[in-house]
Structure 1
Amino acid sequence: EKTGVFVQASTLGSLEALLDFLQQNGIPVSGFAVGPVYKQSVLHASIMHDRKRSDYAVILT
């Protein structure tokens, strides 16, 4: 698994905009998805917390 924030967006356009913003600011992304936040999305964020990378244990929507 990669280290970084997990990005979740309701539309593909929103996802592209968020990913572009994060890339421009040097913020790593561990994964992304389109649609509502499900348990699996929360598990992605918890992996960062378990790896002692709590600064990346977030879901951006």
Structure 2
Amino acid sequence: MVDDSSGSSSHVAKLDTTAPQHGRIWNHRLDGKNNHAVDREAGDQIRYRGVGRKA
């Protein structure tokens, strides 16, 4: 059990959208919608064999 003596029960992790994240890069490569511009830019520079090829 974690002791939260501060009285605050809302601990929300913030997403870093300034750095690419591998899960969001894969999402972009698979034509998903849960990614950011930085992920799309990084994903476009990486070549995966047979994954997310654009016709």
TM-score when scaled to structure 2? 0.26
Relative CO higher for 1 or 2, CA cutoff 8 Å, sep ≥ 6?
1
Higher helix share: 1
Based on CA coordinates, which of the two structures has the bigger radius of gyration? 2
TM-score when scaled to structure 1? 0.24
Higher strand share: 1
